[in-house]
Each structure stands twice: as structure tokens, then as C-alpha cells.
Amino acid sequence: MAPTPEESTLLQALRNGDEAAFALLVDRYHGQLLRLAMAFVASRAIAEEVVQETWIGVLEGLARFEGRSSLKTWIFRILTNQAKTRGVRESRTVPFSPLGNDDADKPSVDPTRFLTSGYFVDHWASPPTPWDEATPERLLLSKECGQRLEQAIEALPPAQRQVLVLRDVDGLSSEEVCNVLALSETNQRVLLHRARSRVRRALERYLEGDASTP
């Protein structure tokens, strides 16, 4: 994945010292970088520092950037490297195995939702119900729902949160995510699956009241 034509133009402008080009880059990625940094380190304040260190790393690396990846992937990789170093320094536990140990065997849906015997074993005993809020816009119209969604993402184990934020919140492709987080395609998909399943459960709990699932 080489830089896009737009990125090549931007890169040239940056190397020429074009301030507007740098401002554009900062405005475009700062928020996404901050969200990702928060998936690595323990506090918002440290995450802010990591993002600032990332931008400095970008400036220092510009001359050396060879364009073997897209500019975006390169910037996000600088952030993950900074964040990992920082995470270790802050002695926050970074999962040893790439998949982490969290809920490795945990099912995607609470097992009590399925029939446990008979011809229809493992089919829905209490099936999902339709949500009234049929579009994301209507769903997030309620500020509280947006907060619940943010909380559910924050509560994820770090490795799951990192993948989910990049894929579903920031909209990176699976290939880009594997690149940024140095994950295999399979591990990326497993983490994404666990994370999405958990967030859906959290939304279900919120939208349908706490009666349905633990």
C-alpha cells in the first residue's frame, strides 16, 4: 500500500515546510490518534502526550519516510510504537499473547439465550428483539446511548479495543489495521469479533433494559 496520490502531494508540501499541509494532517488525524492512544494507555492525559509525541515523531521521520506504506498507516504505526513504549513505562499490563487472555472461551452471546436440549438445541430460546432505533443516527440521537456506546468500547480489553476503534470507529480497512497493529489477519478478525459481540451485548442491555442478559 503506497501513499495515495493525494498523500504524495501532501507529503511534498510537508517536506517543503507548508504549514497548511501540516495543519490539514493534524486536523484530519488528531482525533483518531487520540482515540487509539486511549486504547493503549491508562489516562486521557497520557494519551494526549502520546499523540503529541507522535506528531513530533512524524516530523522527525518525514525525511526518512520511504512511501512503502500509506502516509496514514505510517502515522498510525508511529503512534502504536509510542503508545506501547509508554504503556510499558507506565507499567500498564500489555497482553502477552496477541489475542490477550480476556474471555478467550467466552461465547459471543449469553448461553442461556439458547435452547440446551432437543431437536432445536443451540437455537434461540430468547431471540433478539427488534430495536426501535433502526438507524445509527436515531440510535445516537439520545446522548445517553452514545455515552453507553463509548463506555462499552472503553470497557473492552486493550487488544480488542485497539482493533475495534481502528476498524469500526475510524473506518480503517482490515489490511490497514493488521499493518498498524502488527497483527495477523486471523488475530485481527478474532479480536474484532469478540469486541463487536461485547459492544452489541452492551447496547442490547441498554436498549432492552437490564432484564435480558448479564
Partner 1 sequence: MTREEIRNRVIDCLAGKVTCKSFTEAVTDYLEGNLSVLDWVRFQMHLGLCLGCRLYLRQMKLTIRAMGTLPEKPIPADVRAELIRRFRNWKNP
DSSP 14-77: HHTT-HHHHHHHHHHHHHHHHHHHHTTSS-HHHHHHHHHHHHHHHHHHTTT--SSS-HHHHHHH
Residue closer to partner 1, measured from CB, 2 or 193:
193
Footprint of partner 1 on residues 132-171 (CB under 8 A)? 133-137, 139-140, 146, 149-150, 153, 164, 168-169, 171
Q: Which range, of 1-9, 97-105, 154-162, 198-206, touches partner 1 by CB under 8 A?
A: 198-206
- Going from the C-alpha of 48 to that of each of 32, 61, 91, 151, the distances in angstroms are 12, 20, 18, 19
- C-alpha pair distances (Å), 152 with each of 3, 40, 140, 170, 177: 34, 16, 14, 16, 20
Q: Considering the complex, what minimum distance in angstroms separates the CB of residue 119 from partner 1? A: 11
Q: State the residues that interact with partner 1 by CB under 8 A.
A: 17, 19, 22-23, 26-27, 30-32, 34-35, 48, 52, 55-56, 59, 107-109, 111, 114, 121-124, 127-131, 133-137, 139-140, 146, 149-150, 153, 164, 168-169, 171, 174, 189, 192-193, 196-197, 199-200, 203-204
